[in-house]
Structure 1
Amino acid sequence: MSAEKAPLPFGYTFMADSGHTGTGGADHYNGMLDCFRKIIRNEGFSRLYRGISAPILMEAPKRATKFAANDKWGKFYRDLFGQQTMNQSLSVLTGASAGATESFVVVPFELVKIRLQDKASAGKYNGMIDVVMKTVRNEGILAMYNGLESTLWRHILWNSGYFGCIFQVRQLIPKADTKSGQTVNDIIAGTIGGTVGTILNTPFDVIKSRIQNTVRVPGQTPKYNWAWPGVATIAKEEGFGALYKGFIPKVLRLGPGGGILLVVYTGVMDFFRQMREAKM
């Protein structure tokens, strides 16, 4: 993430992962461009941006939590294992832990976004606040954390791939002698990390959307309830390719977004570091 920049429209266009598997008509999309055309033709251009409030509000706390948790977990694991510097294994472990931490911030926003964006449920809600009120009233306050387990897996895999690749790529490419050279290196490392993270976590993004878009009915066990069994069910019933529905728009967003995120984070941290040194 939304890395992961503001997820619309690329984060929205393939709602095939929300559980709709129609084989024809306006609801069936044959690719990213076909999805764009049909949504605009049948629902209007503004539909591409439905549910944008939740991801916009999520961005700042999500990014802050991601990198703050990564720094804290990195220090914790270095002390735990007696390492003075980070290595590949610690980078993956630290990223996974940061992803798990980040998930607790993300889940309610993601649930609101999914329910607003899916065509089958969007008509039930008048906006972000309405989703929250109706979900809490009809399903209970804990329903705002539906999909927590699948979100944990999604963010553990993305962050471990992202931070692990950043470490490895930085070791492999020549060290930069200038600030602009370092920026290029960060874009390369972050883009590769974002791409690998997306390859790893897309199946869990698919199942997360289906879980969060399922209204809980007392006494009934939903079809999609837990991440790994849900992934197995999709693969069995729809084929392995169904686990990667929406992969192209997602990787177009999160691959380059991973590079931009790393550059912005590095720049901001350098700025504050310089301010602190100037005061001293």
Structure 2
Amino acid sequence: MEDKRNIPIIEWEHLDKKKFYVFGVCMTMMIRVSVYPFTLIRTRLQVQKGKSLYNGTFDAFVKILRAEGAAGLYRGFLVNTFTLISGQCYVTTYELTRKYVSKYNNSNVVKSLVAGGSASLVAQSITVPIDVISQHLMMQREGESMGRFKVRYQDCKRNVVFGQTKDILVQIFNADGLRGFYRGYVASLLTYIPNSAVWWPFYHFYAEQLSGLTPKDCPHLLLQAISGPLAAATASTLTNPMDVIRARVQVEGKSSIILTFKQLMAEEGPWGLTKGLSARIISATPSTIVIVVGYETLKKLSLRPELVDSRHW
């Protein structure tokens, strides 16, 4: 069906699920490879005290590249790829929740808000342990660490690839037990549920507004490609303070969101809540364009054959 501004919306029941999941994994993997360095930079900027190591996103990129090489920008990447599972759970939950909510309220904003928040809740329950491990790996620098744990196994190439992850796993378990892998879970929920719940309504809002301002023959996909980054920048700005606190709770081993917030304010003031925002927006802009274009294209490619000719793009 189409909404009132003629932006085509493909619902879950219109899709060939096998195609959707296969194409989705491939698309997500390509996105992660392209934006992961900025995810690492954002995390390091959020955790560092003041500007003790890096003066900003570009400065961090140059310094990491010079000191650690290209591999330094991909620390923890292999572990982070396991979040592909949560990504598929996110999409499935989002689409199924939209379908369920539509029985009671057909407003696109309401459906997007509820579905986005629900999808993030499910995804974060899977993602947090992976994030905790990958973020500790991101903190490893040449011969030192910015976090609580420092890897020790660097004797051979095999240990560089696999030993560091095992070492971090053991240290987290020895220090905090199984609960250590869910450190910052509440902070993650308070970051990503609002982020997701805000992103989808703003995405549809910007798409509708742009549709009303552009000629009728303007491709819908172009409007969606512009709307995605606008929504991402809006959501990132609104939720960045909680994202900074989340990163510190998980990397520094804090146990209280409130105490972490108070410490951050005492040490760095309100500006501390904006740390990593530029890196977050920089990584979100290209990735969101790819995600939006890829997601909408993915749904079109996954459309059931009997419905293809009925759609107008």
Range into which the TM-score falls when normalised by the shorter chain: 0.7 to 0.9
Instruction: Tell me which residue corresponds to 1:139.
Output: 176
Q: 1:71 to 1:139 in 2, by over 3 A?
A: same
Q: Which amino acid aligns with 1:158?
A: N
CA distance in 2, matches of 1:191, 1:64: 21
Q: 1:74 to 1:138 in 2, by over 3 A?
A: same
CA distance in 2, matches of 1:38, 1:190: 30
The answer (yes or no) to whether the contact 1:203–1:231 under 8 Å persists in 2 is no
Deviations for 1:233-279, whole angstroms, at most 9, x for unmatched residues?
3224311111111111110111332232122122222222234758x
Q: 1:92 to 1:227 in 2, by over 3 A?
A: farther
1:30 to 40, 55, 73: 55
The answer (yes or no) to whether the contact 1:162–1:197 under 8 Å persists in 2 is yes
Matched, 1:183 2:221: yes
Matched, 1:48 2:80: no
Q: With structure 1 as the length reference, what TM-score do the two structures score?
A: 0.81
Deviations for 1:24-66, whole angstroms, at most 9, x for unmatched residues?
xxx42112222123223344442222111122231x2232122
Matched, 1:270 2:300: yes
CA distance in 2, matches of 1:192, 1:37: 27
CA distance in 1, matches of 2:258, 2:221: 38
The answer (yes or no) to whether the contact 1:111–1:144 under 8 Å persists in 2 is yes
2:302 counterpart SS class: helix
Instruction: Tell me which residue corresponds to 1:218.
Output: none
Instruction: Tell me which residue corresponds to 1:237.
Output: 267
Deviations for 1:141-194, whole angstroms, at most 9, x for unmatched residues?
22111110011111112111210111212221227867x812212211211111
CA distance in 1, matches of 2:297, 2:258: 38
Q: Which amino acid aligns with 1:86?
A: S
Equivalent residues in 2 for 1:151-166 (5 A)? 151-166=188-203
Matched, 1:206 2:206: no
Q: Which amino acid aligns with 1:198?
A: S
Structure 1 stretch 150-159 or stretch 130-139: which is displaced more? 130-139
Q: 1:62 to 1:276 in 2, by over 3 A?
A: farther
Deviation, structure 1 residue 13: 1.8
The answer (yes or no) to whether the contact 1:53–1:128 under 8 Å persists in 2 is no
Structure 1 stretch 260-269 or stretch 140-149: which is displaced more? 260-269
Instruction: Tell me which residue corresponds to 2:21.
Output: none
1:93 to 111, 114, 126: 114
Matched, 1:259 2:283: no
Instruction: Tell me which residue corresponds to 1:197.
Output: 235
2:151 to 89, 104, 124: 124
Deviations for 1:202-248, whole angstroms, at most 9, x for unmatched residues?
22221111111134xxxxxxxx3233553343224311111111111
The answer (yes or no) to whether the contact 2:80–2:130 under 8 Å persists in 1 is yes
Q: 1:40 to 1:170 in 2, by over 3 A?
A: closer
2:124 to 99, 103, 126: 103
Query: How well do the aligned residues superpose, as a CA RMSD in angstroms?
Result: 2.7
Of all paired residues, the percent bearing the same amino acid is 19
Q: 1:93 to 1:35 in 2, by over 3 A?
A: same
1:261 counterpart SS class: helix
Structure 1 stretch 241-250 or stretch 6-15: which is displaced more? 6-15
Structure 1, unaligned stretches of length 5 or more? 216-223
